[in-house]
Amino acid sequence: MFDRAKLKRLSHICAYCGKALREEEKTYDHILPVYANGNNATYNTVVCCPECNTRKAHLDISTYLALNYFYFFYFLSMHF
Ligand SMILES: [Zn+2]
């Protein structure tokens, strides 16, 4: 079920590390990178901190989470 309150709360939290973000700190990451035919649709973008955005760079989400074991479990706890 669509949870508007949870969605709004998550829009101020880095999707990868859970850090609370101020408006000016927010960056947006493509879950499926643009080079891999990812698009700008809402379902393909997440709010994240600059550090995670730089760390993830061009990796797709599964590769990034596999390489960052800690974030894999954190990501699961945040989103599921
Ligand atoms: Zn982060």
pTM flag (> 0.85)? no
Euclidean distance between CA atoms 79 and 43, whole angstroms: 13
- Write the burial class of residue 29 (CB in 10 Å: 0-12 exposed, 13-18 middle, 19+ buried): buried
The pLDDT value given to residue 48: 92
Instruction: State what percent of residues in the chain have pLDDT above 70.
Output: 81
Q: How many residues does the chain have?
A: 80
Distance 63 CA to ligand 1 centre (A): 16
Within 10 angstroms of residue 30's Cβ, the number of other Cβ atoms is 20
Euclidean distance between CA atoms 41 and 75, whole angstroms: 20
Mean pLDDT, rounded, of the chain: 82
Render pLDDT for 16-56 as a digit per residue (tens, 0 to 9).
888 999 999 999 999 888 888 888 888 889 999 999 999 88
Distance 47 CA to ligand 1 centre (A): 9
Distance 80 CA to ligand 1 centre (A): 18
Cβ proximity of 60 and 33 under 8 Å: yes
